[in-house]
Amino acid sequence: MSSEQNPTTPETAEEPGPRPGRLTAAAALAALEGLALVVGGAWMLVGGLTGHPDDRTSALTGGVTLIVLALLPLLAARGLIARRGWSRGPAVITQIMALPVAYNLLQADSVAIPAGIVLGVVAVTALVLLVNPTTTQALGIRGPGGAEK
């Protein structure tokens, strides 16, 4: 068979070898953020249904929104573990979206400040791990001009 009839994909072009620790750590951080969003959304839903919120509709909508938003980092984490190149984009977007949230939490005069610190550290750490050359190479992502190589 010629190469036109049997094209190779990035997954089959190279033997993957062991998964780099940086990639696993980035996937774990993305999964942690996704799980935190699910827990926060569930907490808002339960509070909206069983408690006495100021606005029940807003509590329910916020809870559902957080749970739906959790899909992005959870799918990204799954893709990172499976070494799918597409997964880095959603993971990076999640981290970029987390930075303003962390900043807003840091501006609060409450117990939200430690949460803002933790979220900021996690987001910056995950970004560093995701743009690391080892992670990029493990995901089969080529830089500019790398298509001919």
pLDDT given for residue 3 in this prediction: 46
Tens digits of pLDDT across the chain (149 residues): 444 444 444 444 444 678 899 999 999 999 999 999 999 999 999 988 888 878 888 889 999 999 999 999 999 999 999 999 999 999 999 999 999 999 999 998 888 999 999 999 999 999 999 999 999 999 998 877 665 55
pLDDT at 10: 47
Q: What is the pLDDT of residue 41?
A: 95
What confidence score (pLDDT) does residue 146 get? Answer: 62
d(CA 15, CA 75): 24
- C-alpha to C-alpha distance for 36 and 19, rounded to whole angstroms: 25
The predicted pLDDT at position 147 comes to 59
Are the C-beta atoms of residues 116 and 108 closer than 8 Å to each other?
yes
Alpha-carbon span 77 to 70, nearest angstrom: 11
- State the CB neighbour count (10 A cutoff) for residue 94: 26
How much is the pLDDT for 56? 87
Alpha-carbon span 45 to 78, nearest angstrom: 26
